[in-house]
Amino acid sequence: MVFPLTPQPAHPNSPPDHEDDGVDITLIQWMLTLSPQQRLELLKSHNQAVQQLRHAFSRL
pLDDT score for 57? 94
What is the DSSP secondary-structure string of 13-57? TSPPSB-TT--BHHHHHHHHHS-HHHHHHHHHHHHHHHHHHHHHH
What does pTM read for this prediction?
0.60
Q: Each residue's pLDDT tens digit in the chain (60 positions)?
A: 566 566 565 666 676 677 777 788 888 888 999 999 999 999 999 999 999 999 999 998
pLDDT for res 15: 66
Predicted confidence at residue 5, as pLDDT, reads 62
